[in-house]
């Protein structure tokens, strides 16, 4: 069922997750449907998960895999923050996600978008698709529902949008 789901041939409304940077931070968005095959198991899921005060992650793909990866990274980031003595950077959070995704690529099926703000780099979005590639992007879309958005974002996204513009035009 879900194993046959193919991002390039969407035949159902799959997860859609979005992350957009703007001058001053990031905006993250996600739908709220979790399905097992044809049945909607949860119509009020929260796919935007907190990792630290300043870093969140949008989850797509296997619910179990994305949850466990988020949980581990939250745990590691917590310890890292204590050791570091200041908030973790978005890059560190994204790299932790990458490490888990890459080193367990045979077993995991989850695409994640890490978004946050830190004092060094400001608002940043990192996409971590299947396989564990880490790619910093000004905006990122993911999930099987994102197929419908590639054309839209190619046309509608511009460099240097404000938060209001991003929310109105893109979300």
Partner 1 sequence: MALKQPQNSLLGSESDSQRTLYPYVTGTSVVALKYKDGILMAADMGGSYGSTLRYKSLERMKPISKHSLLGASGEISDFQEILRYLDELILYDNMWDDGNSLGPKEVHNYLTRVMYNRRNKFNPLWNSLVLGGVKNGNKYLGTVSMIGVNFEDNHVATGFGNHLARPILRQEWHENLSFEDGVKLLEKCMRVLLYRDRSAVNKLQIGKITEEGVTIHRPYSLKTYWEFSTFENPAQGAIGS
Residues that bind partner 1 (CB under 8 A): 3-8, 98, 101-102, 105-106, 109, 129-135, 137, 147, 150
DSSP secondary structure code for residue 88 in this structure:
P
DSSP secondary structure code for residue 87 in this structure:
P
For residues 3 and 82, which CB has a smaller minimum distance to partner 1 in the complex? 3
Starting at the edge strand that comes first in sequence, how are the strands of the sheet with 17-22 ordered?
25-30, 17-22, 139-142
What is the nearest approach in angstroms of partner 1 to the Cβ of residue 106?
A: 5
What is the nearest approach in angstroms of partner 1 to the Cβ of residue 132?
A: 4
For residues 52 and 144, which CB has a smaller minimum distance to partner 1 in the complex? 144
For residues 78 and 158, which CB has a smaller minimum distance to partner 1 in the complex? 158
Residue 120 structure tokens: 């060094």
Q: Give φ, ψ of 138 to 5 degrees.
A: -70, -30
15 is catalytic: yes
What is the nearest approach in angstroms of partner 1 to the Cβ of residue 85?
A: 25
**5/3 Cα distance (integer angstroms):** 5
Residues that are catalytic: 15
């Amino acid at each position: 069922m879900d194993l046959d789901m193919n991002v390039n041939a969407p035949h159902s409304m799959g997860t859609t997750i979005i992350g957009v940077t703007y001058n001053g931070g990031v905006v993250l968005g996600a739908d709220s449907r979790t399905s097992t095959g044809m049945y909607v198991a949860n119509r009020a899921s929260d796919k935007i998960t907190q990792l630290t005060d300043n870093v969140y992650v949008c989850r797509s793909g296997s619910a179990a895999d994305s949850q466990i990866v988020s949980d581990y990274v939250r745990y590691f980031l917590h310890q890292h923050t204590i050791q570091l003595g200041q908030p973790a950077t978005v890059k560190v959070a994204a790299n932790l996600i990458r490490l888990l995704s890459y080193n367990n690529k045979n077993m995991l099926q989850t695409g994640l978008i890490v978004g946050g703000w830190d004092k060094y780099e400001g608002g940043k979005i990192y996409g971590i698709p299947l396989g564990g590639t880490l790619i910093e992007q000004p905006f990122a879309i993911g999930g099987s529902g994102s197929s419908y958005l590639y054309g839209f974002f190619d046309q509608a996204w511009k460099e240097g949008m404000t938060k209001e513009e991003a929310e109105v035009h893109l979300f």
